[in-house]
Structure 1
């Protein structure tokens, strides 16, 4: 364990850092952060609420935090990392909770490995359809980066021209899924959440009005209650 309380696993030649809390029994919950953050972003009431009944893991995605910054950031890389992480920890099936970029990793994983996802929570997720007009690939900001800026550059290219299967295979997600929107203060088109849910066999959308893109930070108690209610539904 590092001085920051993180542990590591190696998979596919990549070192991945993570934090863990909670019970030894129960379905494991894996938290996946947004672009530019790391697992620390999840500290708060959600972890406190989940840790009584679930093992909880907050992963630093590649290119972020204390995980390796290998320079290769295709979405298939992130999906493979998540699979390897679960394998290394001996987790056969997990609940995935993802925010923004992390939520895309979560649902792409659920497309590829539906048998390994118990439930899926997608906070302010993005619909992977072509962006028109395309976003410009940004230049890195000055100073010491908090994450590998190449993640942002490669994500922008993939977001502009995504693999069609990422949209087409939403129907392959068999896990019950909750999509959480931040309402009219979000920069994401909220109607996309409804379109995504329509393509998934067991999905629904809730909106936490006024929360914006950072729902679990702006409205932590409301977000936590929505997740807990969803996880305890029969």
Structure 2
């Protein structure tokens, strides 16, 4: 399946995204983890591109997108809104992993009428826990802006309690996929699934945090089953 790499200016910043599938197919936006890029979704996009228009966005500071020096989950949520509006995506389905998953919760709480179905891979919204130390910057070039790391860790360490309080505002069908043996507490994913009114939790045991990389077939099976539920078959 061909993957097309495009650039677009959103709110004064250049963003890069990868697109696969037919332009007239139902749109599906995918958001990557901290330090990753849209390319990390290529295998998923190749499979889902058979039935969906898959749009994988390089979030700010990552991949081919702008290094903006300012990074928050809220700004990434705004970026997604500008992206969806620029591409005339009235409603779309959304998959987010890790950092991209938190952006996806936030977007779905704030703009619930825009999302058909929500899928979050192995992350709850940030919650108060042992503070995370900012690691020292590695030497050598990075495929992302290092400034993202201390910015996002700051929000993980001092999370907005509203993000949990507003999980009940996520009204669209939602699938949370846990990796089982992950550094993410799986009981937190269970809590999320109980707070979101129409939510299913699927655990892919021993997949770890990067479920779609470590057990692609099980990830795709869960996602395709969930996305095809309730669709009118011609």
Give the structure-2-normalised TM-score: 0.94
Q: Distance in 1 between matches of 2:52 and 2:178?
A: 25
| Residue number among 203, 228, 232 corresponding to 2:228 in the alignment | 232
Matched position secondary structure for 1:90: coil
Question: Which residue of 2 is the match for residue 71 of structure 1?
Answer: 69
User: 1:125-157: CA deviations, max 9, x gaps?
Assistant: 1332212x2111222111112211111111100
Q: Distance in 2 between matches of 1:146 and 1:52?
A: 29
Q: Distance in 2 between matches of 1:137 and 1:220?
A: 30
Question: Which residue of 1 is the match for residue 31 of structure 2?
Answer: 32
Q: When the two structures are aligned, how many residues end up with a matched partner?
A: 228
| Residue number among 37, 44, 47 corresponding to 2:45 in the alignment | 47
Give the alignment of 1:37-116 within 5 angstroms: 37-44=36-43, 46-116=44-114
Matched position secondary structure for 2:124: coil
Task: Tell me whether 118-127 or 80-89 shows the greater mean CA deviation.
Answer: 118-127
Matched position secondary structure for 2:108: helix
Within the alignment, does 1:169 sit opposite 2:166 as a pair? yes
Question: Which residue of 1 is the match for residue 119 of structure 2?
Answer: 121
- Runs of 4+ with deviation above 3 angstroms: none
Matched position secondary structure for 2:118: strand
Within the alignment, does 1:204 sit opposite 2:200 as a pair? yes
| Cα distance, 1:217 vs structure 2 | 0.6
| Cα distance, 1:5 vs structure 2 | 4.8
Query: Any conservation in 2 of the 1:25–1:53 contact (CA below 8 Å)?
Result: no
* Compared CA separation, residues 26 and 182, structure 1 to 2 (3 A): same
Question: Which residue of 1 is the match for residue 209 of structure 2?
Answer: 213
Query: Any conservation in 1 of the 2:105–2:125 contact (CA below 8 Å)?
Result: no
Within the alignment, does 1:154 sit opposite 2:151 as a pair? yes
Question: Which residue of 2 is the match for residue 13 of structure 1?
Answer: 12
Query: Any conservation in 2 of the 1:79–1:109 contact (CA below 8 Å)?
Result: yes
Q: Which runs of 5+ in 2 are unaligned?
A: none
Query: Any conservation in 2 of the 1:63–1:151 contact (CA below 8 Å)?
Result: yes
Give the structure-1-normalised TM-score: 0.94
User: 1:68-121: CA deviations, max 9, x gaps?
Assistant: 011110111000000000011111111101111111111110011000000011
Query: Any conservation in 2 of the 1:62–1:70 contact (CA below 8 Å)?
Result: yes
